[in-house]
Structure 1
Amino acid sequence: MKQPLKQVNFYKRALVQGCVQGFKADDALSLHLENPAGGAWFAAFDTQDEESTYNRLVVDGDFSGVKLEILAAVAPADSALGVEKITTFLESDAAPTEKMAMLMTLAHVREVNRPDILLHDLVGRWIFLCVAVVPQDGGNAVLRGVHLEFPRYSFTQYFPEIYQQDDFFRRYIAIFQSLYLDLEHRVEEIPLMLDYTCAPDEQVEALAAWLGIDTAGGIFGPEQMRILIKESALYQGGKGTRSALEGVVELACGVRPRIVEYFQWGKLPMSAARRRLYENLYGTDSNTFCVILDLTNRDTPLPVNQAQLENLIRAYSPLGAQHKLVFLRPCSYTDNHCYLEVNSCLSTPEKAAVDGVTLGGYFTVG
Structure 2
Amino acid sequence: MRSPQWLVTQMPIGMLDDDFFVRFLSIFQHGADSLAEGADNLEHLGDVAVAPDAMVRWLAGWIGLDGLDPSLPDRAARTVVRASAQTLAWRGTRHGLTRTLEVLSGGPAEVVDGGGVWLDGEAPPDPAWVRMTVTTTGWLSEPDFAAVVADEVPAHVRGELWVGERLIWTSVKASARDGGGHGPGAH
Judge same fold: TM > 0.5, yes or no.
Answer: yes
CA distance in structure 2 between the partners assigned to 1:169 and 1:155 by the alignment: 9
* TM-score under structure 1 length normalisation: 0.36
> What SS does the aligned partner of 2:132 have?
strand
- SS of structure 2 residue aligned to 1:205: helix
Name which of 33, 36, 39 aligns with 1:184: 36
Q: Report the CA distance shift for 1:226/1:171 in structure 2 as closer, same or farther (over 3 A).
A: same
Q: Which residue of 1 aligns with 2:11?
A: 158
Q: Which amino acid aligns with 2:142?
A: Q
Which aligned pairs between 1:1-366 and structure 2 lie closer than 5 A? 5=3, 149=4, 155=8, 158-159=11-12, 161=14, 163-210=15-62, 213-215=63-65, 217-219=67-69, 221-229=77-85, 231=86, 235-261=87-113, 286-294=127-135, 302-328=138-164
CA–CA separation in structure 2 for the residues paired with 1:165 and 1:306 = 70
Following superposition, the deviation at residue 317 of structure 1 comes to: 0.9
Residues 307-350 of structure 1, C-alpha deviations (whole Å, 9 max, x = no match): 112222221112222222222269xxxxxxxxxxxxxxxxxxxx
Task: Kindly state the Cα deviation for residue 171 of structure 1 after the two structures are TM-superposed.
Answer: 1.3
Q: Of the two, which has the highest radius of gyration? A: 1
CA contact (8 A) 1:216 1:312 kept: no
Please give the alpha-carbon distance, in whole angstroms, between the structure 2 residues aligned to 1:206 and 1:261: 33
- Counterpart-to-counterpart distance in 2, 1:318 and 1:250: 18
Q: Which runs of 5+ in 1 are unaligned?
A: 6-148, 264-284, 296-300, 331-366
8 A Cα contact 1:154 1:177, kept in partner: yes
Alignment root-mean-square deviation, CA: 3.1
Amino acid at match of 1:304: L
Q: Against the structure 1 CA distance between its residues 240 and 223, is the aligned structure 2 distance closer, same or farther, given a 3 Å change threshold?
A: closer
- The corresponding residue for 2:171 is none
TM-score (norm 2): 0.64
Gaps of 5+ in 2: 70-75, 116-125, 167-187
Q: SS in structure 2 opposite 1:217? A: coil
Query: How far apart in 1 are the matches of 2:48 and 2:103?
Result: 17
Are residues 328 and 181 of structure 1, via their aligned partners in 2, closer, same or farther at CA, if it must alter by over 3 Å? Answer: closer
Q: Taking structure 1 as reference, are residues 188 and 250 closer, same or farther at Cα in structure 2, changes over 3 Å only?
A: same
Q: Which has the higher strand share?
A: 1
Q: Distance in 2 between matches of 1:244 and 1:308?
A: 18
